[in-house]
Amino acid sequence: MIKTTLLLLLLLPITVFAQDLGKIKGINARHFQLKSQKDSIDFLLINDEIGKKKPVLLFCQGSHPFPLIITYDDGYKFYPALSAFNYDQLARDYHLVIISMPKTPVDVNAKKLNSSNLVVRDPAIANSWTKAFLDANYFENYVNRARKVIGYLAKQKWVDRKHISILGHSQGAKVAVGAAVGNRNVFKVGFFSGNPYGRLDQTFRVLRNSALTGKRPQAEVQTEIDRYYKVWEDVVKHPNDRKEEYDFSNRNWISFEKSIMPSLLKLDMPLYVAYGTEDPVAIMCDMIPIEFTAAKKTNLTMKAYVGLEHNFREVSSDGVIHDDKIHWQEAIEEFVKWLKL
């Protein structure tokens, strides 16, 4: 009888409660939450305009636990994941939505963050991630969360349901693709600065690039690559280990090591790929047109930004990255032009 009851409980659908938590004081955004027994998915609607029906652009941020909002003692608030481009301009034409990182507070005082504005156990220790974040920080969870938010948005009267698009940057690019595969609610997909292969591929490319450009000695880089071979042996041996010995958990490494190329090829909706040619993380985006041509797929648009790095900043001939010469706005504007085609 007990076994039968447990089986029935497992077969029951997980109930998700949707809440509109209203406007956030001090910043022009609306807070929504999808709550289940195991998780709470928080997301913001930038420039709260639920009285107006518009297309949706869902933005998936990168790999680190930034809060959605950072608040300073003087009351000033800003969105760290959106700070590189004019989100107000984007939100005039789109319902711009951004999802929280898993197990990460929505609004955090700057004093409680580390020097990179990340949520950690101890601000004095750079990568002291919380246990809850480590446990929830894996690819399948990000995809599931994004799909749930898209499903919720598709049911809202203020959403143009035929035009729900998703844009991801870096790790978020993979999440965007995962959330879009087989999803009839998704109109178009943006893949910014992502690696179509695994995390070790990009890790090794970054390391080799540092040696080739003279930033690090070849022998030192080789020693580090040899270390990663041992790391990977341990990760494969203990795939569900949540220890943070290798920055993130073994489960995270396993989930993001999988190539996203097969999923890219499964997309039926239009796909836009943008990346900088000075970005060793995303340089293998060069291979995406080759794979699409071989598969006789024609739903791909490519945009390579010559001389720009991972965050669309200019890189001089001596390898110096110029923080004051950033082209995120240009990249967003080109993407939006494509969205409107």
| 69 — pLDDT class (breaks 50, 70, 90) | very high
Asked if 137 contacts 248 with a C-beta cutoff of 8 angstroms, the reply is yes
Domain-embedded: residue 212: no
Q: How far apart are CA 283 and CA 238, in angstroms?
A: 30
Domain-embedded: residue 237: no
CATH number of the domain that residue 303 is part of: 3.40.50.1820
Question: 99-125 pLDDT, tens per residue?
Answer: 999 999 999 999 999 999 999 999 888
Question: The pTM is what?
Answer: 0.93
The amino acid present at 220, given as its one-letter code, is E
Domain-embedded: residue 180: yes
Domain-embedded: residue 117: yes
Domain-embedded: residue 175: yes
Q: What's the start-to-end Cα distance of the chain, in Å?
A: 59
- pLDDT at position 219: 98
Asked if 100 contacts 43 with a C-beta cutoff of 8 angstroms, the reply is yes
Non-local (6+) Cβ contacts of 181 within 8 A are: 263, 266, 267
Bigger pLDDT: 284 or 9?
284
User: Does position 9 have pLDDT exceeding 60, yes or no?
Assistant: no
Structural domain count, the chain? 1
- pLDDT at position 245: 66
Instruction: State the SS3 of 193-224.
Output: CCCCCCHHHHHHHHHHHHHHCCCCCHHHHHHH
Q: How far apart are CA 277 and CA 50, in angstroms?
A: 39
Domain-embedded: residue 244: no
Q: In the chain, what percentage of residues exceed pLDDT 90? A: 87
- pLDDT at position 14: 57
Domain-embedded: residue 214: no
> Can you read off the two tokens belonging to residue 45?
């609607």
Weakest-pLDDT range from 2-11, 134-143, 225-234, 330-339: 2-11
User: Does position 1 have pLDDT exceeding 80, yes or no?
Assistant: no
Question: 296-321 pLDDT, tens per residue?
Answer: 999 999 999 999 999 999 999 888 99
Beta bridge partners of residue 190, listed in sequence order? 167, 272
Domain that holds residue 177: 16-197+259-339
Q: How far apart are CA 195 and CA 206, in angstroms?
A: 12
Domain-embedded: residue 271: yes
The amino acid present at 154, given as its one-letter code, is A
User: Nearest to residue 280, comparing CAs of 176, 187, 201, 162?
Assistant: 201
